[in-house]
């Protein structure tokens, strides 16, 4: 009986070794090229989506904002491929599942809006009709390896910061729900011109951010949220730059335009400051 118990304990300990499973790395590696190409098209050539992309997206701010998310996502999945610990990247997988699921539904709802003969449409369809299942599956399989312990030089996220990020995540998710379920309403008040399809795509983008913020808030370990926060900072910085290049798309008479701009500017300042503050604490623990 004792030897049987020891064997069970050994199996439990070996299962919780915080490793990234091979299938998780493979799925991450497969996703990266799709995101890099989509970023290049949408962010660098936002006025040429009719010729280059799965569907025609106007005005410029919408493809550039979607491209910003792809850039942050590409960074995240590269880190998932390259690094050895599961809990360093685990908080990003459910937000990606949420985003990809909503994008899949948006594709089905607005099927007629897509360039079905373009090769990029086939890539789009493959990505959003498979990614929700693949990413969720690897998360379900890999989550059992999380030791739920701190790294050697880890620090805990302050409760007030986690709560603030969580509240921001809930607000962002509420906006995403309205964008996806009430596109006509949101089109009438949005800072730049939307269509029913692009309103739902915006909803998916806000769901990605909101779910990401909730995931960050729910894990107290700095080591578990560092990479996800880096990814968000990259995406926000790209959105900030996109606003400059797409300034003519904004309705300056709309109060929501200035709320949106103020929100992005706040995140551009607050996110790096938060990162540097907690990273400094982690560095001090190593000294």
pLDDT (0 to 100) of residue 57: 97
- Provide mean pLDDT across the span 188-209: 98
Taking the alpha carbons of 212, 35, 141, 149 in that order, is the dihedral positive or negative?
negative
Of 206 and 283, the one with more pLDDT? 206
- Provide mean pLDDT across the span 186-195: 98
Q: How many whole angstroms separate alpha carbon 224 and alpha carbon 92?
A: 10
- Provide mean pLDDT across the span 83-111: 96
- Of 8-22, 33-47, 225-239, 256-270, the one with minimum mean pLDDT is 8-22
Q: How many whole angstroms separate alpha carbon 210 and alpha carbon 160?
A: 18
Taking the alpha carbons of 138, 141, 144, 147 in that order, is the dihedral positive or negative?
negative
pLDDT grade for 14, boundaries at 50, 70 and 90: very low
Residue 123 pLDDT greater than 50, yes or no: yes
| Average pLDDT taken over every residue of the chain | 93
pLDDT (0 to 100) of residue 13: 46
Give the distance, in angstroms, between the CA of residue 220 and the centroid of all CA atoms in the same chain: 19
Q: What are phi and psi of 114, to 5 degrees?
A: -95, 155
pLDDT grade for 153, boundaries at 50, 70 and 90: confident
Residue 60 is given by DSSP the state T
Q: How many whole angstroms separate alpha carbon 85 and alpha carbon 38?
A: 28
Share of residues in the chain with pLDDT > 70 (%): 94
Q: Residues 35-65: pLDDT tens digits?
A: 999 999 999 999 999 999 999 999 999 999 9
pLDDT grade for 12, boundaries at 50, 70 and 90: very low
State the maximum Cα–Cα separation within the chain, in Å, rounded to a whole number: 76
Q: How many whole angstroms separate alpha carbon 39 and alpha carbon 231?
A: 14
Residue 286 pLDDT greater than 80, yes or no: no
pLDDT (0 to 100) of residue 1: 46
How far does the chain reach from its first CA to its final CA, in angstroms?
46
Looking at the chain, how many residues does it have?
Answer: 287
pLDDT (0 to 100) of residue 282: 81
């Amino acid at each position: 009986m004792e030897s049987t118990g020891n064997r069970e304990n050994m199996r439990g300990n070996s299962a919780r070794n915080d490793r990234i499973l091979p299938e998780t790395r493979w799925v991450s590696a497969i996703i990266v090229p799709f995101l890099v190409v989509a970023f290049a098209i949408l962010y660098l050539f936002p006025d040429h989506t009719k010729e280059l992309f799965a569907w025609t997206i106007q005005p410029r701010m919408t493809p550039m904002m979607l491209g910003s998310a792809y850039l942050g996502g590409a960074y995240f999945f590269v880190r998932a491929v390259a690094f050895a610990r599961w809990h360093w990247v685990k908080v990003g997988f459910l937000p990606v599942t949420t985003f990809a699921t909503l994008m899949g539904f948006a594709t089905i709802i607005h099927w007629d809006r897509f360039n079905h003969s373009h090769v990029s449409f086939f890539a789009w369809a493959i990505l959003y009709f498979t990614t929700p299942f693949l990413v969720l599956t690897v998360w379900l399989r890999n989550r059992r390896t999380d030791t739920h312990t701190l790294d050697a030089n880890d620090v805990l996220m302050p409760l007030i910061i986690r709560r603030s990020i969580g509240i921001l995540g809930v607000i962002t998710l509420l906006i995403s729900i309205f964008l996806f379920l009430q596109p006509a309403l949101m089109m009438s008040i949005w800072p730049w011109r939307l269509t029913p399809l692009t309103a739902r795509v915006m909803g998916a983008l806000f769901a990605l951010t909101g779910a990401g913020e909730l995931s960050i808030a729910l894990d107290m370990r700095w080591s578990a949220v560092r990479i996800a926060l880096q990814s968000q900072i990259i995406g926000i910085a790209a959105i900030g730059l996109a606003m400059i290049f797409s300034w003519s798309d904004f309705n300056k008479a709309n109060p929501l335009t200035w709320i949106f701009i103020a929100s992005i500017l706040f995140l551009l300042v607050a996110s790096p400051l938060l990162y540097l503050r907690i990273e400094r604490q982690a560095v001090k623990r190593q000294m």
